[in-house]
Structure 1
């Protein structure tokens, strides 16, 4: 075999490359150099090392596979892009057996509702088979810390969105979509846990439309039956988890930016929020997945249906937990709803906007999505 003189050998020293300063410093080359760089605390160094790893056969391929579990989302995505078109059986099995990868674009708009950026994103998920041809996609929401509530400068903010406070949310899985009517029907025929369920409660009919006209107790029963079937602890998200997942790293009124339009979400567009043009009023729900997702790969977090959360209602955040957990009160008949709906104006769809209603309320603009622990 002819030796490639340009390729670093096991213990060669190489110069600079894509490593951080000092730019001209010598680093260990070859496979040992790749391993050392993959252990570097700098994300950019680990990313640059991944392509080099594939030059070293099976051992290098194993290093890239291991990088799918890296703490950095950017490193995970780089590893995924390097592996997704490879045909080795162990690669295919690993991508199939751990978590699937979902590719999409995250969109941002300015106050006029005009798109100002579109960036490719990848989120990780698993799919639950509910039976009867229905499947539930659960997105991995990475843990993190955020400021819950709205700043005093936010337009249309309410007193109950304050005081802003720091919350640390552990990683979790959350439904990619609102629970659909097909999913509801599949779970409604499962053995009863606490209460009975109407298999077809919705006003607007359609298998891929979100289920509505369900009470808070019925949403909890859905989670209980799903948990019993799957062995996972399905539940309604806490209010903090919901807002954290909705924002997906943003601090603007909407995860799209300074405003939204009826091309991005289903709400009553007869009023505007910022400087965008007046939109349409569809006067009904829309199929899940009709509009762009946020950076976590979640759809319809703004508009379509209000979403039941697990928490009791409080008039403000004084004394709220800082760990993302459910906040219960002695009076549990008022529960939190988030996200706005097809019938409400855009300000009500803001990431920080809070709403509540009685647990037995059953209307055509209340629905829910499910969550479960990542561990």
Structure 2
């Protein structure tokens, strides 16, 4: 159907040029009695009231050559040969342009031998073919050559058979399309001027054009353009926070082509963006609450949220409640270990209160292996503490979430993830690998850190844990992670500037050996941790804040989107995000990390849907 509409669209352009002066009957017209020819397309719109058989020329005088066809002079010495030539020309579709075309030859033969029924039948077939060509050319959408050809065919038909009914029908159709095209041009001008659906605006012009000629694709596209502009303006208003005006424009857009589904679909998209915006504002406010002096910022965030939120919006209610709580309490102590109670009286993940303070985030100029993405080094302050998971989230803890909610993680959905291939020593994509699997794709025990999860999987777990405990859990910001990783240190590595001391982290050590007897190519010389792959959480030494596996075992997802370097980075520890970003940060070394990747400032990003055997997560709980 789309092709059919497109092939008729050129009728719009043609009418600038085809329109009206009734010609006199041509002296060379065929004298044989005409019969009804099935040459015009069925179910054409009602014809205009203009006199039939008229063609007018409007606009470009350069088209005079196209519209000034005259019958070529033909000299015939051998009628039989001329008749054969006419048949060949007719078979090829060469109908009128030269003295060797079918129609000039047959008219000359008719003049030479009046009453020849064979010539009359051939001429009738030629007229039928010309009308068929004319309608086909008229239906070709936005093809300039076809447009010119249709105009020239109209001139030929008007010159030879102006009184023939099918010719009159064709010429009247050309005129009808011309009126519709004029309206379409006027509608496009209104559209450019921004006059969309007001009285006399673009929408009215396009609708009138389509009443005259429904197949006119250019007018149909005009309706679509009005709709698109209204939708775009609605989305701009929504982005500016004026949701009432946005939904008003969406309602108008839905009326353009009578498509209520449009308003529903775009409205759902705007509503999802509003909810995401509110969620991020809530998180920014909650992170700010953890900085002490961020209370005013959180209140400002709440005021902005209430301006754009629906009554009773959950994110706004949560932030309001947290502001009320933080403004009154201070019950935790630095390095305190605690857990939250779950509805079944069990306990949530073990948390450690990270003390407030400040640090220099990123790598210093001249640091070995530093790169520009870790700079400039800048000061980040935490005026209040926050609680961070004492350990990485385990397979068992994630299993409890999945069994309680029926959640389907990303790797489970797509049926594969990246794991270590023991035989080849490479990381390869394996089927059937998901959060239940270990680094090598084999089933993992519950004490192992969960891997093969995306940042969104981690956030889904955090949302469930928040609902279960009544506290607010989330992924840490990148600044929070590096602050907790360094734990007050300023060295190249979390433990300092030298080689790792025994038992400090699960890293790529020069003495580590794979199940097949392989060694790391790029490792800490002389170091052995006893594991080729992740170890059960808490197997190594805690850092100065009481946190385990921050610099090794598995790397961990954080909230932040990828930014190249720290220019204009937040200075209060909040996450640095862009709505809809496709690349998220993960931090900290892993069981396979080379020395350069175990540095405190090392940072890297991954797509929101990537999963592999080296990335897991831990959570932060807002105090």
Instruction: State the match for 2:589 in structure 1.
Output: 340
8 Å Cα contact 1:190-1:225 kept in structure 2: no
Q: Given the alignment of the two structures, is residue 139 of structure 1 paired with residue 139 of structure 2, yes or no? A: no
Instruction: State the match for 1:327 in structure 2.
Output: 576
What's the CA shift for 1:135? 4.2
8 Å Cα contact 1:216-1:308 kept in structure 2: yes
Instruction: State the match for 1:292 in structure 2.
Output: 541
Q: Given the alignment of the two structures, is residue 313 of structure 1 paired with residue 553 of structure 2, yes or no? A: no
8 Å Cα contact 1:134-1:186 kept in structure 2: no
1:28-57 per-position Cα deviation (integer Å, ceiling 9, x unaligned) = xxxxxxxxxxxxxxxxxxxxxxxxxxxxxx
What's the CA shift for 1:134? 6.3
Instruction: State the match for 2:308 in structure 1.
Output: none
> Could you tell me how far apart the structure 2 residues matched to 1:261 and 1:348 are?
17
Instruction: State the match for 1:168 in structure 2.
Output: 381
Q: Given the alignment of the two structures, is residue 243 of structure 1 paired with residue 482 of structure 2, yes or no? A: yes
What's the CA shift for 1:282? 3.0
What's the CA shift for 1:281? 7.3
Q: Given the alignment of the two structures, is residue 207 of structure 1 paired with residue 456 of structure 2, yes or no? A: no
Instruction: State the match for 1:76 in structure 2.
Output: none
> Could you tell me how far apart the structure 1 residues matched to 2:611 and 2:502 are?
25
Q: Given the alignment of the two structures, is residue 186 of structure 1 paired with residue 421 of structure 2, yes or no? A: no
Show the 5 A alignment for 1:45-124: 123-124=335-336
Would the alpha carbon gap of residues 132 and 287 (structure 1) be closer, same or farther in structure 2, given more than 3 Å must change? Answer: farther
Q: With structure 1 as the length reference, what TM-score do the two structures score?
A: 0.62
8 Å Cα contact 2:506-2:534 kept in structure 1: yes
Question: Larger C-alpha radius of gyration, 1 or 2?
Answer: 2
1:331-362 per-position Cα deviation (integer Å, ceiling 9, x unaligned) = 51100000021122122121111011011011
> Could you tell me how far apart the structure 2 residues matched to 1:139 and 1:313 are?
27
Q: Which has the higher helix share?
A: 2
8 Å Cα contact 2:392-2:449 kept in structure 1: yes
8 Å Cα contact 1:127-1:136 kept in structure 2: yes
Would the alpha carbon gap of residues 333 and 132 (structure 1) be closer, same or farther in structure 2, given more than 3 Å must change? Answer: farther
8 Å Cα contact 2:508-2:523 kept in structure 1: no
1:283-319 per-position Cα deviation (integer Å, ceiling 9, x unaligned) = 2110111111111100001111110000000110001
> Could you tell me how far apart the structure 2 residues matched to 1:366 and 1:189 are?
22
1:177 aligned residue (374, 382, 391): 391
What's the CA shift for 1:158? 1.8
Q: With structure 2 as the length reference, what TM-score do the two structures score?
A: 0.38
Would the alpha carbon gap of residues 213 and 262 (structure 1) be closer, same or farther in structure 2, given more than 3 Å must change? Answer: farther
8 Å Cα contact 1:261-1:269 kept in structure 2: no
Q: Which has the higher strand share?
A: 1
1:120-172 per-position Cα deviation (integer Å, ceiling 9, x unaligned) = xx821211345696641110011111110011232211221100001112311
Would the alpha carbon gap of residues 133 and 343 (structure 1) be closer, same or farther in structure 2, given more than 3 Å must change? Answer: farther
Instruction: State the match for 2:339 in structure 1.
Output: 127
> Could you tell me how far apart the structure 2 residues matched to 1:330 and 1:371 are?
21
8 Å Cα contact 2:354-2:386 kept in structure 1: yes
1:353 aligned residue (591, 598, 602): 602
1:63-90 per-position Cα deviation (integer Å, ceiling 9, x unaligned) = xxxxxxxxxxxxxxxxxxxxxxxxxxxx
What's the CA shift for 1:221? 0.3
What's the CA shift for 1:261? 4.5
Would the alpha carbon gap of residues 293 and 280 (structure 1) be closer, same or farther in structure 2, given more than 3 Å must change? Answer: closer
1:65-118 per-position Cα deviation (integer Å, ceiling 9, x unaligned) = xxxxxxxxxxxxxxxxxxxxxxxxxxxxxxxxx66x9xxxxxxxxxxxxxxxxx
8 Å Cα contact 2:505-2:529 kept in structure 1: no
Q: Given the alignment of the two structures, is residue 366 of structure 1 paired with residue 615 of structure 2, yes or no? A: yes
8 Å Cα contact 1:166-1:322 kept in structure 2: yes
**Which aligned runs of 4 or more in structure 1 are off by greater than 4 angstroms?**
129-135
Instruction: State the match for 1:32 in structure 2.
Output: none
What value does the CA root-mean-square deviation take over the aligned residues? Answer: 2.3
Worse-matched range after superposition: 202-211 or 223-232? 202-211
Aligned residues: 252
> Could you tell me how far apart the structure 2 residues matched to 1:209 and 1:262 are?
21
Structure 2 unmatched runs, 5+: 1-330, 413-433, 511-521
8 Å Cα contact 2:466-2:472 kept in structure 1: yes
Structure 1 unmatched runs, 5+: 1-97, 102-121
What's the CA shift for 1:330? 4.9
* SS of residue matched to 2:545: coil
What's the CA shift for 1:262? 5.9
Instruction: State the match for 2:492 in structure 1.
Output: 253
8 Å Cα contact 2:503-2:541 kept in structure 1: no
Highest RCO, 1 vs 2 (Cα 8 Å, sep ≥ 6): 1
Instruction: State the match for 1:282 in structure 2.
Output: 531
Instruction: State the match for 2:506 in structure 1.
Output: 266
Instruction: State the match for 1:13 in structure 2.
Output: none
1:209-240 per-position Cα deviation (integer Å, ceiling 9, x unaligned) = 10110011100100011111111110000000
